[in-house]
């Protein structure tokens, strides 16, 4: 038996593990033990321990498939498939001269940095469109926009190792112990050292109980009221002069305008909006304001709202107010849900930026990329493209003629799934994946991709750490790494600028074009087992543990944004009296494509469920594990009731991993006006017994 060290494919923590192989198959997984670097400190979560189980699953796609006129799949050769796709691209381009919105590409947070780079380059250099996006739009686009506006950088400011030294840890909208268990372990370590925990979440999560048991505080606020809660906390901090006046004077701007807005949200007013007693708001404010260091953690609980950008700006406001930026054990720290959400954003798999957050609207930036890519700048798209939700709407209207999807499953992951399913039946659809997902079933062509165990490249973790993945086995069947498939397609379309021989060669080009990655070379990553954290501007730079050191913000000075509370797009009424919120469970990952093909994980939670309070269940005559119907204005699902103390009266929760009880059939496609992120966390719903 042999073993290969690599980076876990599940969440963005970046845990290091060994894949053990025998006879060309991955047969076991073990954690990398200290003293070797591993964010998990010699541990893995339950998903990491079982990461090997899906790799050789019999459902793996092994050959290219084309759907025939009867709607049946036919196995075809790579050559025939590439010819078929290229002909469709060329036909649509010739029929729509100058129209850059008729073709779209979806990249993937599950793929490597190199593959995301290649996909966005293919879109921009070959197809001449900025219509490229990926699932960060659905989870952390509001982070990129909000933190970028406040600090000049839209990434996690600090590092995982710092958590244990924080005096207060403030967690809002993150079920950390279930979604990022090894980061959750650092929180437990901090509590043992005497840290206090403030947890704000609409549900009672494991961290809520830990907070109360260790002298901290748990705030169960209504979904969608994060701005009111944060403003209420800041109101107390300012009123009681607990803020860092010197830090603000030296390093920040627009404080007076911000302060005027904050003073409107008294703790009494915040209590009325959020449902949190004013005494608890005051207690939380004092705990944060008086702490030597506060480490703030958030995740999709605050980003997936029509007010997502405002929510993120509010976390930035709070940490600047208290001087908790630019030093150890502080910062604003969004936890990335997928293994390479950070890297896919860094690589420009977004409609408005190239790699390293360089604007597509900047002519000098376009010239730089055009020169390296061997194309003319005047041929490039100079306007931000469509986001993923906008692409679905354009497809539904018949305006998007071709959609090329790499490693994404929008039928399950996107809001208003019924609309998405109808939309995807209209364009010529190409899906590249490792399994036949519900999205792939709708495709005209399916391309078999290699899994993370069958290729080389890099992932960038939630703490901006670039780490290697290493090839453990040969690709299953006739599958290929994603970048190789795109390269074949580009060559067929007459473009030689994607004729790479290795992932190393792609990273070298990324280094050349991307200032924050310039010093993160393949050679250094081979030598440095810990990886490197960007920004890393040259090969002598050690990488950056935390951003904005000594208050030196990326944008110059930190900017206080006066943010006022706005209600969610859809609230309960007489017809739909419940608030539905969605999320994840410990045992599954994203749309379940991988985790539900893990025997161990699927046995633990084999089907979807809806959490409902005891009081609500009693009123409706619903029993535990009874099949019920949950409906919204967009659709309905039949699903098992799970009676629990985790949700309050009037609130229900559905994990979104389960195709047969898909939460996103129910969710609303209302978007944040700036980041265009959907409001997954709040919509109006009703519950009925199944007759």
CATH class of 141-334: alpha beta
Position 431 pLDDT exceeds 90: yes
Task: Please count the other Cβ atoms lying within 10 Å of the Cβ belonging to residue 550.
Answer: 10
Across 105-119, 364-378, 485-499, 649-663, least confident range:
649-663
pLDDT digits (tens, 9 = 90+) for 223-272: 999 999 999 999 999 999 999 999 999 999 999 999 999 999 999 999 99
Counting every residue, how long is the chain? Answer: 691
Spatial separation of the C-alpha atoms in residues 633 and 500, rounded to whole Å: 48
Question: Under DSSP, is residue 447 helix (H, G, I), strand (E, B) or coil?
Answer: strand
Fold of domain 2-54: N-terminal domain of TfIIb (2.20.25)
* 313 Cβ neighbours under 8 A, 6+ residues apart: 146, 149, 150, 561, 563
Angstrom distance (rounded) from CA 380 to CA 384:
11
528 band by pLDDT with thresholds 50, 70 and 90: confident
359 DSSP assignment = B
Look at residue 70 and give its three-state secondary structure: coil
Residue from 532, 160, 542 nearest 329 by CA:
160
What is the model's pLDDT at position 268?
Answer: 98
8 A C-beta contact, residue 299 and residue 337: yes
Q: What is the mean pLDDT of residues 356-361?
A: 96
pLDDT tens digits for range 75-95: 999 999 999 999 999 999 999
Which pLDDT band holds residue 112 (cuts at 50, 70, 90)?
Answer: very high
Per-chain mean pLDDT for the chain:
95
Tokens, residue 180: 């990022």
How far apart (Å, rounded) are the C-alpha atoms in residues 255 and 132? 37
Question: Can you give the pLDDT at residue 1?
Answer: 85
146-203 tens-digit pLDDT: 999 999 999 999 999 999 999 999 999 999 999 999 999 999 999 999 999 999 999 9
Separation of alpha carbons 578 and 410, rounded Å = 25
Structure tokens belonging to residue 415: 């809001």
CATH no. of 578-689: 2.40.40.20
Kindly report, residue by residue over 19-46, the tens digit of the pLDDT. Answer: 999 999 999 999 999 999 999 999 999 9
Give 230-249 as a DSSP string.
HHHHHHHHHHTT-S-HHHHH
d(CA 615, CA 61): 46
Peptide bond into 535 cis (omega under 30): yes
Does position 686 have pLDDT exceeding 90, yes or no? yes
Contacts of 630 (CB under 8 A, 6+ apart): 580, 610, 636, 637, 639, 652, 654, 666, 685, 686, 687
Q: What is the pLDDT of residue 254?
A: 98
| Residue 337 clears pLDDT 90, i.e. is over it | no
Digit-coded pLDDT (tens) for 54-74: 999 999 999 999 999 999 999
How far is 616 from 578, CA to CA, in rounded Å? 10
Q: Is the pLDDT reported for residue 540 higher than 80?
A: yes
Distance CA 256, CA 259 (A): 5
* Amino acid 139: pLDDT: 79
At 457-493, the pLDDT tens digits run 999 999 999 999 999 999 999 999 999 999 999 999 9
Confidence of residue 529 (pLDDT cuts 50, 70, 90): confident
- What was the pLDDT predicted at 140? 83
List every span in the chain annotated with CATH 3.40.50.740.
Answer: 65-137+339-513
The pLDDT-based confidence of 218 (bands split at 50, 70, 90) is: very high
CB 258, CB 248: distance < 8 Å: no
**Residue 691 clears pLDDT 80, i.e. is over it:** no
Q: Kindly provide the residue ranges of all beta strands, DSSP E only, lying in 288-427, ordered along the sequence.
A: 294-298, 332-334, 402-406
Q: What is residue 330's predicted lDDT score, i.e. its pLDDT?
A: 98
Q: Which residues of 560-578 are buried (b: 16+ CB within 10 A; e: fewer)?
A: bbbbebeebbbebeeebeb
Rounded CA separation 434/455 (Å): 13
Cα 218 to Cα 90, 210, 458, distances in angstroms: 57, 9, 38
Q: Can you tell me the distance from the alpha carbon of 500 to that of 456, in angstroms, rounded to the nearest whole number?
A: 13
Closest CA relative to residue 424, chosen from 652, 622, 437, 47? 437
* H or E stretch covering 469: strand 465-469
Q: 65-67 and 445-448 as β-strands: parallel, antiparallel, unpaired?
A: antiparallel
Give the pLDDT of residue 60.
97
Domain 65-137+339-513 has CATH 2.60.40.10: no
How many helices, marked H, and strands, marked E, lie in the chain? 25, 26
Q: Are 542 and 197 in contact (CB under 8 A)?
A: no
Q: Does the pTM of the predicted model rise above 0.85?
A: yes
Closest CA to 106 of 80, 133, 77: 133
CA distance 359 to 363: 9
Strand partners of residue 2: 21
> Peptide bond before 35: cis, by omega within 30 degrees of 0?
yes
Quote the distance between the C-alpha of residue 98 and its chain's center. Answer: 33
- The predicted pLDDT at position 155 comes to 93
Provide CB contacts within 8 A for 327, sequence distance 6+: 293, 546, 549, 550
38, 32 contact by CB (below 8 A): yes
- Asked whether residue 658 carries a pLDDT value surpassing 90, the answer given is no
CA 567 to CA 559: how far, in whole Å? 24
Residue with tokens 């730089």: 368
3-class state of residue 288 by DSSP: helix
Confidence at 591, pLDDT banded by 50, 70, 90: confident
Crossing angle for the helix pair 308-321 and 226-239, to the nearest 10 degrees: 20
Which residues of the chain are in CATH 2.20.25.90 domains?
Answer: 2-54
Query: Which residues, in sequence order, are CB contacts of 638 under 8 Å at separation 6+?
Result: 627, 628, 629, 661, 690
Mean pLDDT of 529-556: 95
The CA distance from 532 to 538, in Å, is 12
Rounded Cα–Cα distance for residues 663 and 653 (Å)? 9
CATH 3.40.228.10 positions along the chain are 141-334
The answer to whether 351 touches 357, Cβ cutoff 8 Å, is no
Asked whether residue 362 carries a pLDDT value surpassing 80, the answer given is: yes
- Where are the extended beta strands (E) located within 340-424? 402-406
Give the pLDDT band of residue 593 (cuts 50, 70, 90): confident
CA dist list (Å): 447 to 82, 429, 464, 606: 10, 11, 30, 28
How high is the pLDDT of residue 50? 94
Per-residue pLDDT tens over the stretch 313-336: 999 999 999 999 999 999 999 998
The residues of the chain that CATH labels 2.40.40.20 are 578-689
Q: What angle do CA 504, 508, 509 make, to 5 degrees?
A: 120
Taking alpha carbons only, the member of 678, 680, 606, 617 closest to residue 644 is 617
Classified as helix, coil or strand, 188 is: helix
Give the Cα separation of 305 and 224 in Å (integer): 7
Checking if the pLDDT of 309 tops 80, the result is: yes
**Can you tell me whether residue 337 is helix, strand or coil?**
coil
């Amino acid at each position: 038996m042999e073993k290969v060290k690599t980076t876990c494919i599940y969440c963005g923590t970046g845990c290091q593990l060994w894949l053990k192989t025998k006879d060309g198959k991955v047969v076991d997984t073990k954690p990398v033990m200290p003293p070797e670097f591993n964010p998990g400190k010699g541990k893995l979560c339950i998903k990491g321990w079982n990461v090997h189980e899906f790799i050789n699953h019999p459902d793996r796609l092994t050959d290219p498939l084309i759907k025939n006129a009867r709607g049946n799949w036919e196995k075809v050769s790579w050559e025939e498939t590439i010819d078929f796709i290229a002909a469709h691209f060329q036909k649509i381009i010739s029929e729509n001269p100058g129209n850059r919105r008729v073709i779209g590409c979806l990249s993937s947070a599950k793929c490597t940095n190199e593959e995301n780079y290649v996909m966005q380059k293919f879109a921009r250099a070959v197809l001449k469109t900025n219509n490229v996006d990926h699932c960060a739009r659905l989870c952390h686009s509001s982070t990129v926009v909000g933190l970028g506006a406040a600090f000049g950088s839209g990434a996690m400011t600090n590092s995982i190792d710092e958590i244990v030294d924080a005096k207060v840890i403030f967690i809002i909208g993150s079920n950390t112990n279930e979604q990022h268990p090894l980061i959750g372990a650092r929180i437990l370590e901090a509590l043992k050292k005497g840290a206090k925990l403030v947890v704000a979440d609409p549900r009672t999560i494991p961290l809520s109980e830990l907070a109360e048991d260790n002298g901290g505080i748990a705030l169960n606020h209504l979904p969608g009221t994060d701005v009111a809660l944060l403003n209420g906390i800041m109101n107390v901090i300012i009123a009681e002069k607990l803020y860092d006046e010197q830090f603000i004077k030296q390093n920040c701007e627009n404080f007076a305008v911000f302060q005027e807005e904050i003073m409107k949200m008294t703790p009494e007013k915040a209590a009325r909006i959020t449902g949190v007693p004013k005494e608890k708001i005051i207690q939380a404010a004092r705990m944060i304001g008086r702490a030597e260091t506060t480490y703030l953690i958030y995740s999709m609980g605050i980003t997936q709202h029509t007010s997502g950008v405002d929510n993120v700006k509010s976390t930035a406001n709070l940490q600047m107010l208290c001087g908790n930026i630019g030093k150890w054990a502080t910062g604003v720290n969004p936890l990335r849900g997928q293994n390479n959400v950070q890297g896919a954003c860094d690589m420009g798999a977004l409609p408005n930026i190239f790699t390293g957050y360089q604007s597509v609207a900047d002519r000098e930036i376009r010239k730089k990329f055009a020169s390296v890519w061997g194309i003319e700048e005047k041929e490039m798209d100079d306007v931000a493209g469509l986001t993923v939700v906008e692409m679905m709407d354009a497809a539904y209207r018949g305006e998007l003629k071709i959609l090329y999807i790499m490693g994404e499953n929008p039928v399950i992951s996107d809001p208003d799934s019924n609309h998405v399913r109808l939309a995807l039946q209209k364009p010529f659809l190409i899906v590249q994946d490792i399994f036949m997902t519900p999205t792939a079933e709708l495709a005209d062509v399916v391309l078999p991709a290699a899994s993370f165990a069958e290729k080389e490249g890099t992932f960038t973790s939630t703490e901006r750490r670039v780490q290697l993945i290493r090839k453990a086995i040969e690709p299953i069947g006739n599958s290929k790494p994603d970048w190789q498939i795109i390269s074949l397609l580009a060559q067929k379309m007459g473009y030689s600028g994607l004729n790479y021989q290795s992932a190393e060669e792609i990273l070298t080009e990324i280094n050349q074009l991307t200032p924050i990655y310039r010093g993160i070379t393949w050679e250094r990553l081979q030598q440095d087992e810990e990886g490197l954290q960007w920004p890393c501007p040259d090969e002598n730079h050690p990488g950056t543990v935390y951003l904005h050191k000594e208050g030196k913000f990326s944008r110059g000075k930190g900017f206080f944004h006066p943010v006022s509370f706005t209600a969610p797009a859809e609230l309960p009424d007489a017809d739909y009296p419940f608030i539905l919120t969605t999320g994840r469970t410990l045992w599954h990952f994203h749309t379940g494509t991988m985790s539900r093909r893990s025997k161990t994980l699927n046995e633990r939670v084999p089907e979807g469920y809806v959490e409902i309070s005891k009081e609500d269940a009693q009123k409706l005559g619903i029993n535990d594990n009874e099949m019920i119907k949950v409906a919204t204005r967009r659709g309905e699902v039949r699903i098992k009731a799970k009676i629990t103390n985790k949700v309050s009266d009037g609130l229900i929760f559905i994990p979104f991993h389960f195709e047969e009880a898909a939460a996103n059939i129910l969710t609303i496609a209302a978007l944040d006006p700036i980041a265009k992120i959907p409001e997954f966390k709040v919509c109006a719903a009703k519950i009925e017994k199944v007759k």
